[in-house]
């Protein structure tokens, strides 16, 4: 294992190591490395593999560069790709997605080619989606401060509290 910018990562090959040393795109590569690690822990093999492909592909990383800085760019970029695939235009990349196939193809050596080809064919649409869209990710930890605040109120004032959340994160 090598250490790059305080993150321990397994260097897959020299090409990735070389690209990690490029400060112009390093932030985006690091973000996709983190995303890959998280999705791998969640057993999301496709998204973990897609994120690893982004790390070493400068063309694909350009989509992350247009995402609003406050947004999680791996989620936006991969979500935009998935959205376009859901529109139904027949493409070999769809075969890898469980949401589009009963039995998806597991990630293989052809995935990077199909992903890059799809993104080149849809480059303008992807740039538009990535630069103008926002995402609301479901992060359970986001509610931790709310829990602390409500617990404090209950302790201090001996009142009943009801909380109703309506929206994309309802139920967290």
79 has a pLDDT exceeding 50:
yes
| Percent of the chain surpassing pLDDT 90 | 51
Structure-block tokens of residue 19: 């690209």
- Which is more confident, 24 or 8? 24
Q: Tell me what pLDDT residue 9 has.
A: 40
45 has a pLDDT exceeding 60:
yes
Secondary structure (H, E, C), the chain: CEEECCEEECCCCHHHHHHHCCCCCHHHHHHHHHHHHHHHHCCCHHHHHHHHHHHCCHHHHHHHHCCCCCCCHHHHHHHHHHHHHHCCCCCHHHHHCCCCCCCCCCCCCCHHHHHHHHHHHCHHHHHHHHHHCCCCCCCHHHHHHHHHHHHHHHHHHCCCCCCCCCCCCCCC
149 pLDDT band (50/70/90 cuts)?
Answer: confident
* Cross-strand partners of 8: 3
Mean pLDDT of 16-20: 54
For residues 115 and 47, is the Cβ–Cβ distance under 8 A?
A: no
1 has a pLDDT exceeding 70:
no
Q: Tell me what pLDDT residue 111 has.
A: 96
- Which is more confident, 114 or 41? 114
Mean pLDDT of 116-139: 88
For the entire predicted model, the pTM comes to 0.68
């Amino acid at each position: 294992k090598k250490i790059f910018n305080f993150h321990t990562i397994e260097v897959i090959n020299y090409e990735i190591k070389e690209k990690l040393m490029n400060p112009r795109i390093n932030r985006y590569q690091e973000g996709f490395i983190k995303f890959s690690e998280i999705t791998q822990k969640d057993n999301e093999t496709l998204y973990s593999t897609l994120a690893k492909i982004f790390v070493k592909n400068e063309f694909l990383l350009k989509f992350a560069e247009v995402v609003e800085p406050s947004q999680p760019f791996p989620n936006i970029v991969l979500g935009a790709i998935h959205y376009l695939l859901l529109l139904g235009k027949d493409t070999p990349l769809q075969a890898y997605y469980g949401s589009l196939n009963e039995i998806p193809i597991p990630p293989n050596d052809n995935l990077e080619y199909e992903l890059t080809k799809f993104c080149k064919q849809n480059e303008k649409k992807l740039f538009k989606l990535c630069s103008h869209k926002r995402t609301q990710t479901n992060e359970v930890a986001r509610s931790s401060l709310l829990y602390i605040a409500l617990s404090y109120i209950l302790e201090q004032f001996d009142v009943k509290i009801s909380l109703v959340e309506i929206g994309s994160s309802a139920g967290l």
